[in-house]
Amino acid sequence: MLKVLITGAAGFIGYHLSKELLNKGFEVVGIDEINDYYSTKLKYDRLKELGINFSGEKEPLNHKAFEFRAVSTYDKKAIETLFSTHRFDYVIHLAAQAGVRYSITNPYSYTQSNIEGFLPLIEACRHHKPKHFIFASSSSVYGNCKKVPFEEDDVVDYPISLYAATKKANELMAYTYSHLYNIPTTGLRFFTVYGPWGRPDMAYFKFAKAIMAGEPIDVYNNGDLMRDFTYIDDITEGIYNLLDKPSEKNPSYEIFNIGNSQPVKLMDFIATLENHLNKKAIKNYKPMQPGDVYKTYASTEKLEQHVHYKPDTSLNAGLGRFVEWFKGYNKQS
């Protein structure tokens, strides 16, 4: 049985990817520090779905091939022990401090999680030689790039948030290690991922919560924004398709966009969410926020050529599934 390490396993993408790979017959070791950037209850509830109880010990299981450890990726000794204990075929590094606006007020958490927390993983890969190291980058690295759609060979030297700068730094660090130590490496630039079990700090989640409570939503740049919303199952399927297909270049290093390639106007997004919630939003229009970008738009031609896969879940279908989960989860909570 192939064994995969997934960092950030209690997070949004990490939870879904763990579930996807378990269902496909992989053995998964998940780690997460479970910080309080957003609701730890949601993180623990995701772990319960994977068969882990609040103490981190196994319950009568949903997935017997899943092992969880509460570990920070910047804990060098813990990471080295983990790699010495297990022989990982694949390492997928998703753990990071997310959020553009939060990086304005809490910059040190980004250097700790996204820089100091990146190096121990890739150092461990240097010494233990997994078949493929895959890590999460972000569409934020494109900044306010005027050329659309965004392509992987576009110049991304002008990030407009510290979060984006740390993700760009990850790409540079990964390239260096791939070059020096022959580590098959792939970075993935995710585009506005959404869906069930999502992050409460994301706009769609905050909007749904406020609309249901009859509270106003903050609409930035007076609603004049566009986002390439990508449904979570399209992300996990893309990662699965890439697992055994590292680049054949020398060095074996590649960057791919994973997005829906269909930017949606913010006001159209809100209208679709209102339809699924069957309730109108009270809109509080605000100016553009520092660090925000006007538009994201992924070119996925490179991904399609490499693995013959293209994300294709429509916003209407994806938001419908999110709202169904959202209503059910809040009833239980």
Q: What is the pLDDT of residues 148-194, one digit of tens each?
A: 999 999 999 999 999 999 999 999 999 999 999 999 999 999 999 99
pLDDT computed for residue 53 by the predictor: 76
User: What gap in Å lies between CA 74 and CA 113, rounded to an integer?
Assistant: 7
On whether residue 30 sits in a domain, the answer given is: yes
- Full domain range(s) for residue 98: 3-199+231-261+297-313
Task: Flag whether pLDDT at 292 surpasses 90.
Answer: no
pLDDT, tens only, 241-276: 999 999 999 999 999 999 999 999 999 999 999 999
On whether residue 103 sits in a domain, the answer given is: yes
- Give the mean pLDDT of 280-298: 92
- Give the mean pLDDT of 91-120: 95
> Are 44 and 30 contacting, i.e. CB atoms less than 8 angstroms apart?
no
Q: Which of 38, 163, 177, 231 is catalytic?
A: 163
Task: Flag whether pLDDT at 24 surpasses 80.
Answer: yes
On whether residue 214 sits in a domain, the answer given is: no
Beta-carbon contacts of 38 under 8 Å, excluding residues fewer than 6 positions away, are 199, 200, 201
CATH number at residue 19: 3.40.50.720
φ, ψ (nearest 5 deg) of residue 53: -90, 180
Least confident of 51-55, 96-100, 139-143: 51-55
On whether residue 211 sits in a domain, the answer given is: no
pLDDT computed for residue 61 by the predictor: 47
Q: Report percent pLDDT > 70 for the chain.
A: 97
Residue with tokens 């949601």: 42
What integer best gives the mean pLDDT of the chain? Answer: 95
Domain count, the chain: 1
On whether residue 271 sits in a domain, the answer given is: no
Beta-carbon contacts of 210 under 8 Å, excluding residues fewer than 6 positions away, are 216, 217, 281, 282
User: What gap in Å lies between CA 206 and CA 42, rounded to an integer?
Assistant: 14
pLDDT computed for residue 64 by the predictor: 73
User: What gap in Å lies between CA 321 and CA 326, rounded to an integer?
Assistant: 9
- Give the mean pLDDT of 101-124: 95
Task: Flag whether pLDDT at 304 surpasses 80.
Answer: yes
On whether residue 171 sits in a domain, the answer given is: yes
pLDDT computed for residue 63 by the predictor: 62
Q: Is 60 helix (H, G, I), strand (E, B) or coil?
A: coil
pLDDT, tens only, 25-67: 999 999 999 999 999 999 999 999 998 876 555 554 456 799 9
On whether residue 268 sits in a domain, the answer given is: no
pLDDT computed for residue 210 by the predictor: 98
pLDDT computed for residue 332 by the predictor: 73
Beta-carbon contacts of 256 under 8 Å, excluding residues fewer than 6 positions away, are 152, 186, 187, 188, 189, 238, 242, 300, 302, 303, 306
pLDDT computed for residue 58 by the predictor: 53
- Give the mean pLDDT of 130-151: 96
Task: Flag whether pLDDT at 198 surpasses 50.
Answer: yes
On whether residue 217 sits in a domain, the answer given is: no
- Give the mean pLDDT of 197-217: 97
Whether 163 is a known active-site residue: answer yes
